Amino acid sequence: MNKIENYLPEQYRETGKLPINHNYLSEQFADYPKILEKFAVLLKRGDYTLGEAVDQFEERIQKLTGAKHAIGVGSGTDAIMLSLIAADIGPGDEVITTPFTFFATIGAIATSGAKPVFVDAGYDYNIDVSKIEGAITSNTKAILPVHWGGCACKMDELMAIAKQRQLAVIEDSCHGILASYKGKPLGTFGLTGCFSMHPLKNLNVWGDGGYIITESDEMADKLRLLRNHGLMNRNEVAVWAYNSRLDTLQAIVANHLLDKIANITQSRIRNANLYDQLLGGIDQIIIPPRKEHIKQVYHIYVIRAENRDELQSFLMKQGIDAKVHYPLPMHLQPASSDYGYSKGDFPVAEELCDSVLSLPVHEFITEEQIQFVADAIRKFYNGS
């Protein structure tokens, strides 16, 4: 294996030069002195791990989602992994999910000891629920839907299958804070809902962070043990477990952003609607279906485009940070080689990976910039 080095600093430097960027953190945290004032209180109090701000954050998430329990953890990835382990899913078990997702979804299944079993995606970018039944075996223990880009999966159909087959549902809602399906918040359908607060999520912190919501008292108790070494109190450990606590410092940042999350969400929805209007008449662009019963929160705004790679290169030269999320589906990743999948097994997911393109949609992009992006796309296809 080649030496693995930190590739991110160079990536930050390169994309940071683009005027219309996916990274909006300097604008979002322009009021950082207010956060630093709260850090000063933390410095005096000294409760850096599972401190008061974590309790406050969890209480606010409970109120925001209507969930009975909220448990802050170290990342969205850990939220999924710990949920699987708390649901007694591990070696020898299978978890059904989609190959069109971020690496963390599959990594969490694999590191729990279970085997990911893929079914194809649909053109809404989510798992094709109609194909789930055909993937269920005697080893299947859970379904792990991914609400891609903050757009809900078909949860009524999926939950009906899970109930009939007595399978746990662990929701990868990492893109989906404040999103809903038929009025019900994402993350509240399954045994747990798992959320990420990575710096570029809609609710973000100054590093990694995540949280889990659940209605189950038993799951909540298990998760609180699993995130904190298995400790029942200062001196007694119930199970050997993990260190995946939401840092108090990150909880302070998250609490600060929770005051703004409604406006953040509405801004992204408004920007996405404008993109839909401006791009809707371009024959070479396919906008995914929008459904009235789904509140989509647009962690990313994703279209399908003809000549995607050439379009992306053209947009980057125009100063537009167009990205591909993601060019290689999970069943074709090197890490999946032992699972026995081949190219062509999941044609829709593969088609999506060959054609999707993400455009900046955050709350700081202006209408004029969105118009510029749309005009640049039209210019590319018109050849002018």
Question: What pLDDT sits at residue 8?
Answer: 85
Q: Are residue 185 and residue 285 in the same domain, yes or no?
A: no
Q: Is the pLDDT of residue 2 over 80?
A: no
Same structural domain for residues 224 and 286? no
Give the range of the structural domain holding residue 212, as residue numbers without chain letter. 32-258
- Of the residues 258, 284, 306, which one is the last residue of a structural domain? 258
The per-residue pLDDT for 383 is 82
Residue 283 lies in a domain: yes
User: Is residue 142 in a domain?
Assistant: yes
Q: Among 237, 258, 279, which residue terminates a domain?
A: 258
CA dist 228 and 124 (Å) reads 37
Cβ–Cβ < 8 Å for 197, 171: no
- Shared-domain flag, residues 270 and 369: yes
pLDDT digits (tens, 9 = 90+) for 100-149: 999 999 999 999 999 999 999 999 999 999 999 999 999 999 999 999 99
Do residue 102 and residue 231 come from a single domain?
yes
Does the residue 232 lie in any domain?
yes
CB 271 within 8 A of CB 101: no
CA contacts within 13 A on the Cβ side of 24: 20
CA–CA separation, 98 and 351 (whole Å): 14
Note the pLDDT tens digit of each residue in 348-376: 999 999 999 999 999 999 999 999 999 99
Structural domain count of the chain: 2
Same domain for 241 and 285, yes or no, is no
Residue 56 clears pLDDT 80, i.e. is over it: yes
Q: How does pLDDT run across 205-242, given as a tens digit for each residue?
A: 999 999 999 999 999 999 999 999 999 999 999 999 99
Beta bridge partners of 170: 192
Q: Contact at 8 Å (CB) between 95 and 143?
A: yes
| Three-state secondary-structure class, residue 85 | helix
pLDDT digits (tens, 9 = 90+) for 266-305: 999 999 999 999 999 999 999 999 999 999 999 999 999 9
Domain with 36 in it: what CATH number?
3.40.640.10
- Is the pTM higher than 0.85? yes
- Looking up residue 271, the CATH number of its domain turns out to be 3.90.1150.10
Q: Which of 312, 300, 294, 301 is nearest to 279 (CA)?
A: 301
Residues 43 and 190 in one domain: yes
Strand-strand pairing, 285-286 and 184-185: unpaired
